[in-house]
Homo-oligomer: A and B are copies of this chain.
Amino acid sequence: MHVEQATSKQLQQWYEELTAKHQSFVVGGLNLDLTRGKPSASQLSLANELDGALGGNFLSDDGTDTRNYGGIDGLPGMKKLAAEILGSKPEEVLIGGNSSLTLMYFSILFAWQFGLNGPGSAWRDEPAVKFLCPVPGYDRHFAICEEFGIEMINVPMDDNGPDMDAVEALIRDDQSIKGIWCVPKYSNPTGCIYSADTVERLAKLGNIASANFRVFYDNAYVVHDLTDTPAELPNIMDYCRQHGTEDSVLQFGSTSKVTFAGAGVAFMACSANNLKALKNHLGIATIGPDKVNQLRHLRVIASMDQLRAHMMKHAELLCPRFDCVLKHLQDSFGSSDLGQWSTPTGGYFISFDTRPGLASEVVKLAAEAGVKLTPAGATFPYGKDPEDRNIRLAPSFPTVKDIDKAMAVFCNAVKLASVSQRLKR
């Protein structure tokens, strides 16, 4: 289906057929949801042994009674594992609670309110504070910036990550840019993996940006491969050490999509300077993270080998879901001018671009037919997709059968919206 070359008559015929099909979905009364990057119950059950994992022994290897107060940065064993996951050193790691988002929020808060480079470095004292936001991206990152009144600047993404020419030019031009959001592996939502060149250039930003600039490197999907021959993400801290920019990068991760989404262990890694500043302020805000939950995790997933084996079980559950979405997209749009999409090899999302100006209409049509999609624009700062094209598809939670039904609705909605738009021209 190519709407550009189609005759009026052909378009009109398609319009009628697609509308009829859409109406059949509407009366069908579906109630399906492709909005959230939530693990399915089957995935969560892979970690059920966390309950009871301690067998009454609450002492960690280093002798800590995990039940009691104490320790702002987590158990040594958990730091070691987190360091391996993030490609960092244990002494550069801080273990958090159940939410890496909270660690990101605290990092922004402390940089804003107090400054991470000592007195005089607080963002709130700057005339303006701006963040670069590679788009499409993650709405919860953007929400933190919006909450603090940080101006967000869109930067385009391609298969290698953010457009680094644009990133460097913007930073050279404007020292009020204090951060950039990155999801370097299986980026949310495009699924791309940043190239070595991109990672190295991100590591070098510290040399052209202001001293209180930070790369917010949300490595949420670093071990979330869908294949057993995953691409390697180059280690950003190695590049930082090479270029003397260790203080410019804050890395984040968690086990939310490894064990329990709402009851995992979050962590971050950064330079000794950053860690010291963060711990000083975090020590005011909390009695410390839940060490019992850390120990539970260590008893169930004690090494990177065990972690990788565990992630392969997730992949087994996720692959058929991704395949189902991709098959629908290929069958419907493989030879068409109606959309482009990503074919990720890991992570939680498939990113779909409609023809310009149609994403909102597609989301609306799908909703009419009982299929909830992530709101159009959600993947952009301020919820505004300038071209109204991007839709994030999240296939992890529903069953394959439900995804199959939902994708039939979605593909028809994309076609109908495209034909309607073409007819109006």
B284 and A144: CB pair below 8 A?
A: yes
Contacts of A241 in B (CB 8 A): none
Select one of B114, B281, B293 contacting A263, CB under 8 A: B293
Q: Does A65 contact B (CB under 8 A)?
A: yes
- A143 to B183 Cα, complex, angstroms: 35
The residue of chain B having its C-beta at the shortest distance from the C-beta of A100 within the complex is B287
Q: Does A62 contact B (CB under 8 A)?
A: no
- A175 to B35 Cα, complex, angstroms: 47
A113-B113, A147-B281, A261-B287 known; 20 other A-B pairs, CB under 8 Å?
A: A41-B65, A44-B67, A44-B68, A51-B52, A51-B53, A51-B56, A51-B58, A52-B52, A52-B54, A66-B263, A67-B261, A69-B262, A71-B262, A97-B98, A98-B289, A99-B288, A101-B285, A105-B286, A256-B287, A262-B288
Select one of B48, B58, B98 contacting A290, CB under 8 A: B98
Contacts of A207 in B (CB 8 A): none
Chain A binding surface, main DSSP class: loop
Q: Does A109 contact B (CB under 8 A)?
A: yes
- A140 to B285 Cα, complex, angstroms: 9
The minimal Cβ–Cβ distance linking A375 to chain B, given in whole angstroms, is 16
- A62 to B144 Cα, complex, angstroms: 31
Q: Does A55 contact B (CB under 8 A)?
A: yes
Contacts of A284 in B (CB 8 A): 105, 140, 143-144, 147
Chain A interface residue count, CB cutoff 8 Å, equals 54
A290 and B287: CB pair below 8 A?
A: no
Q: Mark A342-384, 1 if CB is under 8 A from B, else 0.
A: 0000000000000000000000000000000000000000000
Q: Does A102 contact B (CB under 8 A)?
A: yes
- A114 to B109 Cα, complex, angstroms: 13
- A293 to B290 Cα, complex, angstroms: 10
Q: Mark A26-58, 1 if CB is under 8 A from B, else 0.
A: 000000000010110100100110111111101
Q: Does A260 contact B (CB under 8 A)?
A: yes
- A143 to B290 Cα, complex, angstroms: 21
Q: Does A292 contact B (CB under 8 A)?
A: yes
The residue of chain B having its C-beta at the shortest distance from the C-beta of A41 within the complex is B65
